[in-house]
């Protein structure tokens, strides 16, 4: 299974643990703050903020936390000013990696990212060294327990989705960037719960990894990057067979 779809599923399974650690709330607060700073505090006129609010609600973030994060972004409350940066590089087995961060200290963050990648058998590259391998898409995850596959596919396609795949315990809906908000809001209006709904970077091609030791190295790098305080999202183009991933778990 390719890096973009399998890693989304892995991240979802990790989500409950991360939430207990407060990690996911930290990421969501940063996204709410930056979205409000970039486009204003009114979600009706700020699609990025609408998506961020929906994600925060899906993670059961208290309304007060959401409100404070937005007000910090608009300047109504004092808060930290975050800078958005994307780093690129290579991991074990030549896997291409893209890392989105939000940081209040660029020097600290780049040193941390460089250390993590080099420690785990990769190297940090120059801007655009792997960016050309990825394209932006909307990715929406729906639990298979919460929707009928045929009905969900019809609703998603009618709303402007490009495709939907069955990932076993979840359905993954892909959209063009410009249609993402239409599809997400349609599912919300239909009362269909979403496990996640975000703009992502999907690889044009993948690196197939059939050696368990190499696969373990790749997953160790992904975990290390995800656990970095400043990292918001990690994207990679690995293709690890399901049986190998299960053996690693």
> What pLDDT score does 101 carry?
97
User: DSSP characters for 131-177?
Assistant: GGGEEEEEEEEEETTSS-HHHHHHHHHHHT--EEEE-SSEEEEEE-G
User: Is 229 inside any structural domain?
Assistant: no
> What pLDDT score does 12 carry?
54
Q: What is the domain count for the chain? A: 1
pTM of the model: 0.84
> What pLDDT score does 195 carry?
87
User: Is 172 inside any structural domain?
Assistant: no
User: Is 166 inside any structural domain?
Assistant: no
Q: Where in the sequence is the domain holding 10, given as residue range(s)?
A: 3-74
User: Is 206 inside any structural domain?
Assistant: no
User: Is 47 inside any structural domain?
Assistant: yes
User: Is 174 inside any structural domain?
Assistant: no
The domain that holds 69 is classified in CATH as: 1.10.10.200
> What pLDDT score does 3 carry?
46
Q: List, for residues 74-89, the tens digit of each pLDDT value.
A: 999 998 889 999 999 9
**Exposed / middle / buried, residue 86 (Cβ in 10 Å: 0-12, 13-18, 19+):** middle
C-alpha span between 213 and 229 (Å, rounded): 27
**Residue 116 phi, psi (nearest 5):** -60, -45
User: Is 235 inside any structural domain?
Assistant: no
> What pLDDT score does 230 carry?
95
Residues with Cβ within 8 Å of 230's Cβ and at least 6 positions away in sequence, in order, are 101, 102, 103, 108, 109, 112, 113
User: Is 39 inside any structural domain?
Assistant: yes
User: Which residue stretches of the chain have pLDDT < 50?
Assistant: 1-4
Q: List, for residues 74-128, the tens digit of each pLDDT value.
A: 999 998 889 999 999 999 999 999 999 999 999 999 999 999 999 999 999 999 9
């Amino acid at each position: 299974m390719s890096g973009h779809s399998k890693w989304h599923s892995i991240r979802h399974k990790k989500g409950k643990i991360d939430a207990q650690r407060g990690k996911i709330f930290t990421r969501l607060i940063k996204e709410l703050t930056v979205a409000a700073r970039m486009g204003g505090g009114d979600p009706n006129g700020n699609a990025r903020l609408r998506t961020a609010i929906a994600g925060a609600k899906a993670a059961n973030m208290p309304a007060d936390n959401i409100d404070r994060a937005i007000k910090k972004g608009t300047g109504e409350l004092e808060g930290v000013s975050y800078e958005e940066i994307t780093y690129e590089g290579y991991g074990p087995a030549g896997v291409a990696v893209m890392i989105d961060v939000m940081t209040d200290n660029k020097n600290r963050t780049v040193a941390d990212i460089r250390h993590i990648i080099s420690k785990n058998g990769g190297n940090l590259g120059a801007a655009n060294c792997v960016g050309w391998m990825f394209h932006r898409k909307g990715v929406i995850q729906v639990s298979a327990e919460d929707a009928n596959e045929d009905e969900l596919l019809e609703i998603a396609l009618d709303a402007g989705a490009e495709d939907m795949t069955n990932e076993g315990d979840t359905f993954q809906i892909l959209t063009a960037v410009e249609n993402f908000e239409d599809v997400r809001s349609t599912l919300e209006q239909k009362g269909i719960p979403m496990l996640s709904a975000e703009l992502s970077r999907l690889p044009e091609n993948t690196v197939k990894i059939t050696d368990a030791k190499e696969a373990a190295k790749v997953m160790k790098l992904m975990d290390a990057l995800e656990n970095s305080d400043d990292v918001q999202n990690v994207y990679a183009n690995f293709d690890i067979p399901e049986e190998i991933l299960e053996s690693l778990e």
